[in-house]
Structure 1
Amino acid sequence: MTKILPVAIVQAAPIPLAITDGITKATELAAEAIKQGAKLVAFGETFLGGYPLWLDEAPGAALWDHPGTRAMHRIMLENAIVANDERLLPLQELCDEHDACISIGAHERVRQSLYNNQLMLRPGQAPLDHRKLVPTHGERLIWMRGDGSTLGVHQAEWGKVGNLICWEHWMPLARAAMHNLGEAVHVAAWPTVREEYALNSRHYAFEGRCFVLAAGLVQRKDDLFDGLERTGGDGAAKELIQTIESDVLNKGQSLIAAPDSRVIVQAGEEEEILYADLDLSEIGANLTSLDTDGHYSRPDVFELKVDTRAKNGVKWGV
């Protein structure tokens, strides 16, 4: 088993709304990271499509029938990735050619609904989905809730790797379920890794005795205008963006944490690729004192049941 794992976090600005162009950018950046030796490359939450910053930053965006919010939703539906999306093939080919994994967030369309999906692309296999279980606060205006069918990990030759998205990291039972799956490396996808998100990511590393790649975005108001123009533009959507006061909305600050919670490397607030070589032997050494899924658990007192059935709402057949 490989003991040293080269990894990278791509901290970059997405191309909001214009997912096809975003995939082109992601492929170029992932190729650069892989060229430097990375076997696991992580992007932040909804890199493909951009984080819907107007929900927090545009006054009135949550009002019923807001014209700009409606326009944005229509554009996201039209551009979102779908199952077996051929636009993802360039990223898949990178994984296949270099025996690497790429974790990347995207707006995904399933029937008529949007999901926040952190995809794990892996060599020789279909991408592993993880759809956000609970969209946070205003995000519920956009995204449907995921279900237990997308709680899982990828078994790489060096160990297991999984994803959770943003505030899922404050769901104790979600963490317990992922720890039970035995991650060696965990991708914590965030829109930006502010102080409390950094603390949360380091806590996950300590609790799960795993390495954590806390991946954030750099996103500006101008990026929203750029993405809107690339998708054909919309007057109501443009007016919504114009009401946003701040120019810089997501400030990166991605980090990589070790199983003892220490920060191995941390990014600043600009675009960059963060690299680290992870010594996977640290996991076993740290399990000596704490294994929350094993010798530090009490299965005779606490029991967790995870329903992994897909909840489609409609069942066809006899």
Structure 2
Amino acid sequence: MAAVQSEPVWFDLAATTEKTITLIAEAARKGARVIAFPEVWLPGYPVFLWLGDEQWQADYRRTYIKNSAEHGGPEHKRIAAAAREHGIMVVLGVSERDAEGRIFIAQWIIDESGKTILARRKLKPSNAEGTFYAAGDPNTNLIVVDTNVGTIGALNCSEHKRPLLRHIMLGLNEQIHVAAWPAFGLVPENIPMSAKVNMNATSGYAAEGGMFVLAPTQVIGAALQKEFSDTPERARMISSGGGATHIFGPDGQDVVAPLGHDEDGLLIATIDLSKVRRPFDPDPLSPIPALASQSAV
């Protein structure tokens, strides 16, 4: 299993698609059967949402919307083709633009044949995100899919700190969960948004559900930090690094040591699904039944 800790080519859909394909190939070459990407990896988390008012953000917003991907669009097809070429499952975090021009914090699961078997959208974008992203449909979002590598589900960022969503997902008997997060170099003085708090929530999700959790994150490089440090106030609100990628086991502990917070690369671990526990079954050794896959979307 591979979890990404990397820097996108900020707000550039074409260039970040190229980097996505490169990482897919690298993960497959290293033997991974699944690669998990951070929240809105494509085309990068909109850090500007936290750094100024909407008037100041206007140009960034226009660029970002233009560089958000369409489901079934050329970037989606290229990434699906890469998954098929390399025989690897891709769990992609993407800013998805619909036909009406709205954007969503989405996750697409593309299997090793290149078929998209799950497409979900974050139910309630949080805080500043809610001024930019549309909300997802709860009827099509809380889904676990059966795959050749186990049952897989996914949530984005703050969804892991909402008890009702956790309860629903845990009842679906995930074996592997992707907890997609942004970069943690934003607003470092805001403790609830810190890597420590959010990775604690993620390891808790793994232990509570008795499953493996891949928690990919983004890295903020020096160039982006400099661009958004044009005033003392903004300089205090963004720092370089911020990578906090982990792979947690069913006991909530790291399966493999994490990368350095400013390291750009892949965190790779071998997992043993026999260690997965069913949280709502009195017999923790009873097998997990296969779930019907979601129809292709």
Report the Cα offset of residue 262 of structure 1. Answer: 1.3
The one-character-per-residue Cα deviations of 1:77-129 (angstroms, maximum 9, x if unpaired) are 21111121122223212222333211121111121211111221213322521
1:44 corresponds to 2:47: no
Partner Cα separation in structure 1 for residue 31 and residue 143 of structure 2 = 26
Partner Cα separation in structure 2 for residue 72 and residue 224 of structure 1 = 15
The amino acid of 1:258's aligned partner reads G
Gaps of 5+ in 2: 185-194, 284-297
Q: How many residues align?
A: 266
Aligned match of 1:120: 109
Partner Cα separation in structure 2 for residue 221 and residue 139 of structure 1 = 24
Partner Cα separation in structure 2 for residue 192 and residue 224 of structure 1 = 12
State the percentage of identical aligned residues.
Answer: 29
The amino acid of 2:86's aligned partner reads H
1:172 corresponds to 2:163: yes
Partner Cα separation in structure 2 for residue 292 and residue 174 of structure 1 = 15
1:188 corresponds to 2:175: no
Partner Cα separation in structure 1 for residue 18 and residue 33 of structure 2 = 20
Report the Cα offset of residue 221 of structure 1. Answer: 5.7
Map 1:96-115 → 2, pairs under 5 A: 96-110=84-98, 111-115=100-104
Aligned match of 1:197: 198
Partner Cα separation in structure 2 for residue 250 and residue 119 of structure 1 = 26
Partner Cα separation in structure 2 for residue 250 and residue 51 of structure 1 = 14
Aligned match of 2:223: 222
Local SS of the residue matching 2:214: strand
Aligned match of 2:25: 31
Aligned match of 1:280: 273
The one-character-per-residue Cα deviations of 1:246-287 (angstroms, maximum 9, x if unpaired) are 56345112111100111112121121211100011111xxx3
Report the Cα offset of residue 224 of structure 1. Answer: 7.5
User: Is this contact kept in 1: 2:24–2:83, CA < 8 A?
Assistant: no
The one-character-per-residue Cα deviations of 1:194-227 (angstroms, maximum 9, x if unpaired) are 11111111111011111001111101362378xx
Report the Cα offset of residue 241 of structure 1. Answer: 6.5
Report the Cα offset of residue 151 of structure 1. Answer: 2.2
Q: TM-score, normalised by structure 1?
A: 0.78
User: Is this contact kept in 1: 2:4–2:265, CA < 8 A?
Assistant: yes
Report the Cα offset of residue 30 of structure 1. Answer: 1.5
User: Is this contact kept in 2: 1:191–1:250, CA < 8 A?
Assistant: no
Gaps of 5+ in 1: 1-6, 226-237, 297-318
Local SS of the residue matching 1:248: coil
**Greater RCO between the two (CA within 8 Å, min separation 6)?**
1
Task: Provide runs of 4+ in structure 1 moved above 4 Å.
Answer: none
Map 1:236-315 → 2, pairs under 5 A: 242-243=230-231, 244-245=234-235, 248-265=239-256, 266-269=258-261, 270-283=263-276, 287=277, 291-295=278-282
The one-character-per-residue Cα deviations of 1:153-190 (angstroms, maximum 9, x if unpaired) are 23111311111000000111111221122211001001
Aligned match of 1:129: 119
User: Is this contact kept in 1: 2:48–2:60, CA < 8 A?
Assistant: no
Partner Cα separation in structure 2 for residue 208 and residue 252 of structure 1 = 24
Partner Cα separation in structure 1 for residue 102 and residue 116 of structure 2 = 22
Report the Cα offset of residue 49 of structure 1. Answer: 1.5
Q: TM-score, normalised by structure 2?
A: 0.83
Local SS of the residue matching 1:77: helix
Partner Cα separation in structure 2 for residue 250 and residue 200 of structure 1 = 20
Partner Cα separation in structure 1 for residue 56 and residue 24 of structure 2 = 33
The amino acid of 1:251's aligned partner reads G
The amino acid of 2:124's aligned partner reads V
Local SS of the residue matching 2:135: coil
Partner Cα separation in structure 1 for residue 168 and residue 204 of structure 2 = 16
